[in-house]
Amino acid sequence: MNVILVVNDYPQNLALLTTQLLLLNYQVAASTIHDDAYEIAHRLRPSLIMMEFSRVDIDEASAIRRFKADESLGNIPIIVVSTRSTADSKTRAHDAGCDAYITKPYDATHLKHIIKQFFATINAQSPARENLIPPQPTAPSQFSAGT
């Protein structure tokens, strides 16, 4: 099953990204709580994890490291989606193990391109898995994500 797990500490942002991914014809599981996301990831084994933590009391790097340290989840690519555009924020996320960093606002075309790249890589590494690249939408959609 080809699923993108979306983790975001704000329900409104979670709903926005989830809706964008659904409109791009991806299968999505979602959680606002890191511990729940970890359990969901163990249960579903998503192909990709997209996370954003906007609250200052949540350490994004620790969350990434927890996923990457787990033997059964560590190979799942993690994309951080963030309003933080500083070099320090990006470096911390990459040092923790994130595979890509998307700064908001972004449009659906950019989001789709990044995700397609990850699915193409996953597909090349695991040729036995079926349907890793989701079908193309019938009409392009443009979004601008806000905080």
* Measured distance CA(122)–CA(77) in Å, rounded: 9
Instruction: Domain of residue 74: give its range.
Output: 3-125
Q: What's residue 132's pLDDT?
A: 38
Q: Tell me the three-class secondary structure of 53-77, residue by residue.
A: CCCCCCCHHHHHHHHHHCCCCCCCC
The answer to whether position 131 is within a domain reads no
The answer to whether position 52 is within a domain reads yes
Residue 57 has pLDDT above 80, yes or no: no
Q: What's residue 144's pLDDT?
A: 38
The answer to whether position 43 is within a domain reads yes
Residue 147 has pLDDT above 50, yes or no: no
The answer to whether position 146 is within a domain reads no
The answer to whether position 133 is within a domain reads no
The set of long-range contacts for 123-131, using a CB threshold of 8 Å and a minimum separation of 24, is: 129/2, 131/2
User: Could you report the per-residue pLDDT of 124-141, keeping only the tens digit for each?
Assistant: 776 544 443 343 333 333
Task: Provide the terminal-to-terminal Cα distance of the chain, rounded to the nearest Å.
Answer: 30
Domain CATH number, residue 52: 3.40.50.2300
Structural domain count of the chain: 1
The answer to whether position 38 is within a domain reads yes
Furthest-apart CA atoms within the chain: distance in Å: 41
The answer to whether position 15 is within a domain reads yes
User: Could you report the per-residue pLDDT of 74-108, keeping only the tens digit for each?
Assistant: 999 999 998 888 899 899 999 999 999 999 898 88
* Measured distance CA(9)–CA(19) in Å, rounded: 16
Contact call for residues 83 and 10 (beta carbons, < 8 A)? no
The answer to whether position 137 is within a domain reads no
The model's pTM is 0.80
